[in-house]
Amino acid sequence: MPKKSSDNGVVLSKPQKRILDAMKSGRAMTRQTISDNANVDISWLSKWIGRLNPVTRKQSEERFGYTSLLTHKFISVAKEDVGGRDTVVFKITPAGKKSAK
């Protein structure tokens, strides 16, 4: 069951808290890197991080009853060249760092 963050009242699940903790370094991370560093199942990352499409993200959040880290603006998404390929990466935002404390 998600618990409220002590400082901002936002409800985060334990996996979401682990994801933010793993991202505190501020470096851009792929889904695989996040999964490895936060010890979370990669197949569930869309639920916790949020889907990239805002319409399907909203539908998923309503279905699961969780608000994603993207919706909270705790992480941002970008594309970077990783090994010669455009790859989706995520970075923690200042609000995410504050929530991760």
> Hey, what domains does the chain have and what are their CATH numbers?
10-100 (1.10.10.10)
Q: Quick one: pLDDT band at residue 6, thresholds 50, 70, 90? A: very low
Quick: pLDDT tens for 11-60. 899 999 999 999 999 999 999 999 999 999 999 998 999 999 999 999 99
pLDDT at 4: 44
* DSSP reduced 3-state for 9: coil
pLDDT at 83: 83
CA distance 82 to 63: 33
- Total-model pTM: 0.86
Residue 83's φ and ψ, nearest 5 degrees, are 60, 35
Quick: pLDDT tens for 61-77. 999 888 999 999 999 99
Residue indicated by tokens 């309503």: 62
